[in-house]
Every structure is written in C-alpha cells, then in structure tokens.
A = this chain, B = another copy of it.
Amino acid sequence: MARAVIGVDLGGTNLRTALLGPEGILFDKKKEDSHAAGGYEQVIRKLVDSINRQRKNAEQRGLAVAAVGVGAPGVIHAHRGIVVKSPNFPDWNNLPLKEELERPLGIPVFVENDANAAALGEQWLGAAKGINSMILLTLGTGVGGGIVLDGRIWQGADGMAGEVGHMTIFPEGRQCGCGNRGCLEMYASSRGIVLTYQERLAETGAASAGLTSEQIYERARSGDTVACDVMSRMGRSLGIGIANLINIFNPEMIVIGGGVKDAWQLFIAAAREEIAKRAFAFPAERAQIVPSALGDDAGMIGAAAIALQRTAQA
C-alpha cells in the first residue's frame, strides 16, 4: 500500500484534519468542532475519532497511514510531545498529548506548536515552496511565529523556539500577557491595532469608539487619517521586528499570515520602510516579504509534513 500521513490542526474552536501523500497531494481535508470546552478527555476522544475516520478514508483509497502530526496551540514541549499549557485548553497542564494519542491509535504521533506547524506548511506547499530558510509571522489576536531553517522547523533545545511575537520592540511598552513589556505581539496583532487606535483617540480627546480591528481597516481604507496612522504605526512596529529577524537569520523569505494579513496594503509600505532603515542592506533587499498562501490549511499541512519528516528520519 502507498504511504500517507495525517496532519491535524487542533484549535480552540476548530479541529482540522488532512490526509496527504508524501509528495504533498492533499487527498482529503475535514473541519470539525474541537470541543475545547468539554475538557481534555472529550477533546482527546474527538481527536482519536477524527484521525480514525481519516485512516478509514485512507484505507478506502489504498493508502496506509504511517504517522500523525498534530499542531496544537500554546506552550508545547515538542521533543516529548507534551502540551505544557494552552490558553485554549485551560485544563491541559503538562498533558502528554503524544502518548494519549499513540496509545489508542497505535501509530507514531508527533506534536508541534501550531505556529511552527503552519510555518512548515507554508514552506512545503504554500508561499515559501522551494525556499530553504523562512520565518512565518502569524498576525492574529496575538503574534505567533515559526522558523524553518534548511527545510526543517527550528524547534530549539526543548521545542519551544519560534516565539518571535514576544520579541521586545518597545522596552517600556505595553504589558503583554507573557509577563514582558513591549512585545511585538502587543503592536502588530489585531489586539495591538485596537489598542493603538484607542490610544490615538484618547490623545486627540475623542471618545473611544470601541471599534474592532476589521472596522479600523475599513476606516483606513476609506481614508480616515487616525485609522491610517494607526495602521502605519502597526507597520512600523512590525518592521522593527522583521528587521531584527533579517539581521539575525539572513532568511530567504518572511511570510505574513493571520487575520491581520487582510489589511496588507494598509501596513506593508510602512513595514518595508522601517526594514530598509533598520536592517543590513543586502540581507534586507534579498529577503522576500510575502503574504501566506495556505490560510487556515497551513497548520494541518505543516503537521502532516512533520509526520513525514520524522518517519523518514526513523
């Protein structure tokens, strides 16, 4: 039987599974409810059921599933397959997810941070296809990141690398949930955009409008000067972070994903300007900065890539 792998993206809301062949052929993908509120036993049961359905699916196509990759949110001890803690699954404390899945499934399972998985997904089949070294910045409510070097995720000593959203951009800046002040995440995420907008309104003496990030993009698109300024401030903050990554990594590509990516035209010029001012000229000019291509599929595709890479190693 031909070999296949299953990639899983476990989110707080959605559970995405994909069945892929080694050459990157996507045989099937499914999106379901992840039942995060039901507690970890229910989530595990849900995961096992969904993975087993994809295995049956594989069998019917004459494919044997060699391994499963799972991208999960939060602090992940990737080498040991443990979810240390996860904002989306409050009762998961040092949960040995790899073991909990391998026992009922009977095939190898590899667990990775979801942003790292998404980075590898983009590198395998998305915006960074054919690129050796790239960094993904996922601009959502927070800022996630994943680093791919020589075609593999740089996991770090404990599988906790890639937290580029928690680079300090303004040392005396906004308090971040991680304990630090002035993290990139507090300025380049949708939440950061909303905060900057509120601050700017407060400065001008206007009442807070309570807008969402999408509404701020709308206003900026229709020429509102405060909203435009907020988006260019966001771009400059992002540019500081990207300039640092360029000087540190000399990467071929920076891929920007997440919901904020939809406001690309509103921040990218300011970001590029800041990068040109701050990073070394040669690596700055050669680093392509592009939007992500796989959208919400990046995580499960990257998780499948991890399963492939690890079983090829063994």
Q: Of all chain B residues, which has the CB nearest A283?
A: B160
Binds B, one of A62-70, A239-247, A296-304: A239-247
Known: A282-B75, A283-B157. A167 touches B132 (CB 8 A): no
Tell me if A162 is interfacial: C-beta within 8 Å of chain B: yes
Most buried by B among A147, A178, A180, A282: A180
Contacts of A157 in B (CB 8 A): 132-133, 250-252, 283, 286-287
A179 touches B277 (CB 8 A): yes
Q: Of all chain B residues, which has the CB nearest A173?
A: B171
Tell me if A155 is interfacial: C-beta within 8 Å of chain B: yes
| Shortest distance from the beta carbon of A28 to any chain B beta carbon, whole Å | 34
In the assembly, what is the distance between CA of A248 and CA of B157, in Å? 11
In the assembly, what is the distance between CA of A122 and CA of B166, in Å? 28
Tell me if A158 is interfacial: C-beta within 8 Å of chain B: yes
Q: Of all chain B residues, which has the CB nearest A133?
A: B157
Tell me if A169 is interfacial: C-beta within 8 Å of chain B: yes
How many residues of A are in contact with the other chain, CB < 8 A? 46
Known: A155-B250, A244-B167. A282 touches B133 (CB 8 A): no
Tell me if A290 is interfacial: C-beta within 8 Å of chain B: no
Contacts of A286 in B (CB 8 A): 157-158
Residue in B156, B160, B251, B280 whose CB lies within 8 Å of A75: B280
Tell me if A311 is interfacial: C-beta within 8 Å of chain B: no
Contacts of A132 in B (CB 8 A): 157
| Shortest distance from the beta carbon of A144 to any chain B beta carbon, whole Å | 12
Contacts of A243 in B (CB 8 A): 168, 180
Tell me if A154 is interfacial: C-beta within 8 Å of chain B: yes
Residue in B159, B164, B252, B281 whose CB lies within 8 Å of A248: B164
B240 touches A161 (CB 8 A): no
Q: Of all chain B residues, which has the CB nearest A154?
A: B149
Tell me if A84 is interfacial: C-beta within 8 Å of chain B: yes
Known: A168-B278, A170-B171, A278-B168. A283 touches B247 (CB 8 A): no
A280 touches B171 (CB 8 A): no
Tell me if A27 is interfacial: C-beta within 8 Å of chain B: no
Chain A residues numbered 228-263 whose CB sits less than 8 Å from any CB in chain B? 240, 243-245, 247-252
Contacts of A168 in B (CB 8 A): 169, 240, 243-244, 278
Most buried by B among A84, A157, A161, A283: A157
Tell me if A102 is interfacial: C-beta within 8 Å of chain B: no
| Shortest distance from the beta carbon of A289 to any chain B beta carbon, whole Å | 14
Residue in B84, B247, B251, B287 whose CB lies within 8 Å of A166: B247
Q: List 9 A-B contacts (CB under 8 A).
A: A157-B252, A160-B282, A160-B283, A163-B248, A164-B248, A166-B247, A168-B244, A178-B280, A179-B277
Nearest first, the 7 closest Cβ-Cβ pairs linking A and B are A156-B250, A161-B250, A163-B247, A160-B250, A180-B278, A157-B252, A166-B247
